[in-house]
Amino acid sequence: MRHDANLTADRPTFVTHLECSMTGERYEADQLHGLSRVGRPLLVRYDLEGAKAALPRDELARRPADLWKYRELLPVRATRNIVSLGEIATPIIPLDKLAAEAGAKHLWVKDEGRLPTGSFKARGLVMAIAMAKELGVKTIAMPTNGNAGAAAAAYASRVGIESVIFCPADTPEVNVREIAAQGARVYRVNGYIDDCGKLVGQGAKERGWFDLSTLKEPYRIEGKKTMGLELAEQLDWELPDVIFYPTGGGTGLIGMWKAFAEMEALGWIGSKRPRMIAVQAEGCAPMVRAFEAGERHATRWQDAHTIAMGIRVPQAVGDFLILDAVRESGGVAMAVSDDAIAQAVEDAARKDGLLLCPEGGATLAGWRKALAEGLVSADEKVVLFNCATGLKYPLADQSKTLDKDGAIDFAAL
Ligand X SMILES: *Cc1c(COP(=O)(O)O)cnc(C)c1O
Q: Does 251 bind ligand X (CB under 6 A)?
A: yes
- Report the residue number, 71 or 220, with the smaller CB distance to ligand X: 220
Q: How many residues of this chain interact with ligand X, rule: CB under 6 A?
A: 18
Q: Is 214 in the site for ligand X (CB under 6 A)?
A: yes
The smaller minimum CB distance to ligand X, of residues 51 and 95, is found at 95
Selected range binding ligand X among 45-53, 246-254, 331-339, 373-381, rule: CB under 6 A: 246-254
Regarding 249 and contact with ligand X (CB under 6 A), the answer is yes
Residue 72 or 230 having the CB closest to ligand X: 230
Identify which of residues 13 and 228 has a Cβ nearer to ligand X in the complex: 228
The reply to whether 252 sits near ligand X by the rule CB under 6 A is yes
Query: Closer CB to ligand X, residue 14 or residue 260?
Result: 260
Q: Which stretch binds ligand X (CB under 6 A): 71-79, 84-92, 187-195, 243-251?
A: 243-251
314 binds ligand X (CB under 6 A): no
Applying CB under 6 A, the span of 187-195, 247-255, 293-301, 341-349 interacting with ligand X comes to 247-255
Query: Does 153 participate in binding ligand X (rule CB under 6 A)?
Result: no
Tell me whether residue 148 or residue 323 sits nearer to ligand X (CB atom): 148
CB count within 10 Å of CB 316 equals 26
Specify the residue, 149 or 240, whose C-beta has the smaller distance to ligand X: 149
230 binds ligand X (CB under 6 A): no
Q: Residue 310, interface with ligand X (CB under 6 A)?
A: yes
CB closer to ligand X, 13 vs 306: 306
Instruction: List binders of ligand X among 333-392 (CB under 6 A).
Output: 357, 359, 387-388
* Footprint (CB under 6 A) of ligand X, residues 81-140: 119, 121
- Please state, in angstroms and rounded to a whole number, the distance separating the CA atoms of residues 33 and 20: 11
Q: Of residues 311, 326, 332, 340, which one binds ligand X by CB under 6 A?
A: 311
Closest distance to ligand X from the beta carbon of 110 (Å): 12
3-state secondary structure the chain: CCCCHHHHCCCCCCEEEEEECCCCCEEECCCCCCCCCCCCCEEEEECHHHHHHHCCHHHHHHCCCEHHHHHHHCCCCCHHHCCCCCCECCCEEECHHHHHHCCCCEEEEEEHHHCHHHECHHHHHHHHHHHHHHCCCCEEEEECCCHHHHHHHHHHHHHCCEEEEEEECCCCHHHHHHHHHCCCEEEEECCCHHHHHHHHHHHHHHHCCEECCCCCCCHHHHHHCHHHHHHHHHCCCCCCCEEEEECCCCHHHHHHHHHHHHHHHCCCCCCCCCEEEEEEECCECHHHHHHHHCCCCCCCCCCCCCCCHHHCCCCCCCHHHHHHHHHHHCCCEEEECHHHHHHHHHHHHHHHCCCCCHHHHHHHHHHHHHHHCCCCCCCCEEEEEECECHHHCCCCCCCCCCCCCCCCCHHHC
> Quick check: 142 binds ligand X (CB under 6 A)?
no
Least distance to ligand X from the beta carbon of 386, Å?
Answer: 8
Residues at the interface with ligand X (CB under 6 A):
119, 121, 147-148, 214, 246-252, 310-311, 357, 359, 387-388
